[in-house]
Amino acid sequence: QQQVKQSPQSLIVQKGGISIINCAYENTAFDYFPWYQQFPGKGPALLIAIRPDVSEKKEGRFTISFNKSAKQFSLHIMDSQPGDSATYFCAASSTDSWGKLQFGAGTQVVVTP
């Protein structure tokens, strides 16, 4: 079964707007939550990651919010730019899984000029 559920499947946002992507998980052993960004014709690349000991992590215009009790985490893209148009994948893994990432199904983000 899908261990990480991601929504929405796609979203369109105007330049300067906020993009929000949500992920939920069931496995309480998960303790590492990365987000990967994939442009057409390229492989995914790590964007930002969080551990459950913090509730928020910010890197530039990208912020992860983490809610351990709800088993949910989300990616916020502030001041979205056309160059942010890509597919975003959330993922999760546990310390004993040795790099075995469980990915969400992806969200295609389109930022209109």
Partner 1 sequence: ETGVTQTPRHLVMGMTNKKSLKCEQHLGHNAMYWYKQSAKKPLELMFVYNFKEQTENNSVPSRFSPECPNSSHLFLHLHTLQPEDSALYLCASSPNGGATDTQYFGPGTRLTVL
Counts for the chain of helices (H) and strands (E), in that order: 0, 11
Within residues 18-57, the interface with partner 1 by CB under 8 A covers 31-32, 34, 36, 41-46, 49, 51
Q: Is 105 in the site for partner 1 (CB under 8 A)?
A: yes
Gap between the Cα atoms of 88 and 21, Å rounded: 8
Instruction: Name the token pair of 58.
Output: 């910010």
- Count of residues in contact with partner 1, rule CB under 8 A: 31
CB of 45 to partner 1, least distance (A): 7
Q: Is 97 in the site for partner 1 (CB under 8 A)?
A: yes
Residue numbers at the binding site for partner 1 (CB under 8 A): 2, 4, 6, 9, 31-32, 34, 36, 41-46, 49, 51, 89, 93-106
